[in-house]
Structure 1
Amino acid sequence: MVTLLNTVEDTFARDVCRDHGDKPDELLEILHAVQHKKGYLPDSALRTIAQALNMSRADIHGVVSFYHDYKRAPQAKVTLKICRAEACQAVGAEALIREAEVAFGTKLDAPATEVALEAAYCLGNCALGPAVLVDDDLYGRVDIQRLKHVSMKHREGQTK
């Protein structure tokens, strides 16, 4: 049996759109909800959202590609966002990034399966740099030992 790509529907994405009244002006909230549940935004979800909101897939793609927090592929179990703004750089963020790349065996902003490292530009924690954001948890005065500890706790499902 042949299934056309345009007919594949993501039921979770459809339910989220319905919960938001199928309103195009709630696109960002819809995308966040789908990504939160699935961990990324699969093609089937984007097609479903476009259809439900009566928007073109190009419009949806434009929004998803504009905001760097939206992910189009499965992500690492834990993503460590390390602040690279000036205040954090002044207290060792660049050295922390180099140490983290060695410790976790990955590069900044490169795909990873276990622990990913991402650059962030000002996490609003300037007085306590270097700052790191993991999920919704903000950490200050992070060194490599604390970064390893935080990573392990988040991988185990524990926080702070």
Structure 2
Amino acid sequence: MNVHVAGGIYAERALSIIRERKHLEGPMLPILHAMQHEFGFIPEEVKPVIADELNLSRAEVHGVVTFYHDFRDAPAGRHTLKLCRAEACQSMGADAVANRVRQLLGIDFHQTTLDGAVTLEPAYCLGLCACAPAAMLDDEVYGRVDADCLAEIVAEVRR
């Protein structure tokens, strides 16, 4: 048995996820997506398990996890608010909206409010360029957002 499985709270389930998918061509991304879905983030303790099972270095696994913005290294809040940072949204005032939302939440991008209600993430295109600026709360997208509309959304999810 893998030595990493004995010590960690996530490692045993991670090993099962890996073994279900390691036969796939290019299995690391499907494995990481499955772990993010299962745990809500990629626990540090599973990186050596992935590396061992896929015959990769821990640095390679860490590099993939940190390269992709959607993989988290800590649990997200109950809600995830993504603000589009792409050019179309930038040209329509997304910076001012982002500054106001950060002020309202008291956090920056890649952080979670102290009450665990909201994680704020940048997005690099939500596909609503014609309705810029755009935001996404959990799985619901919003176009033509402004600071007032996002203030209402933030107040609602923090209740």
User: 2:133 is matched with which residue?
Assistant: 130
Q: Which runs of 4+ in 1 moved over 6 A?
A: none
Q: Structure 1 length normalisation: TM-score?
A: 0.78
Size of the aligned set, in residue pairs, is 152
5+ unaligned residues in a row in structure 1: which ranges?
Answer: none
Change in Cα spacing, 1:48 to 1:153, as seen in structure 2 (3 Å) is farther
Distance 1:18 1:57 in 2: 18
Q: Structure 2 length normalisation: TM-score?
A: 0.78
Change in Cα spacing, 1:128 to 1:30, as seen in structure 2 (3 Å) is same
User: What secondary structure does 1:25 align onto?
Assistant: coil
- Counterpart contact for 1:6–1:47, Cα < 8 Å: no
* Match of residue 121, structure 1, among 107, 121, 124: 124
User: 1:86 is matched with which residue?
Assistant: 87
- Counterpart contact for 2:5–2:12, Cα < 8 Å: no
Structure 1 residues 15-54: aligned runs within 5 Å: 15-23=16-24, 25-54=26-55
Distance 2:100 2:62 in 1: 35
User: 1:11 is matched with which residue?
Assistant: 12
- Counterpart contact for 1:128–1:141, Cα < 8 Å: yes
Identity of matched residues, %: 42
User: 2:143 is matched with which residue?
Assistant: 140
5+ unaligned residues in a row in structure 2: which ranges?
Answer: none
Report the Cα offset of residue 152 of structure 1. 5.7
1:111 aligns to 2:111 (yes or no): yes
Moved more, 123-132 or 48-57: 48-57
Report the Cα offset of residue 33 of structure 1. 0.9
- Counterpart contact for 1:78–1:151, Cα < 8 Å: no
Report the Cα offset of residue 82 of structure 1. 0.8
Report the Cα offset of residue 70 of structure 1. 1.4
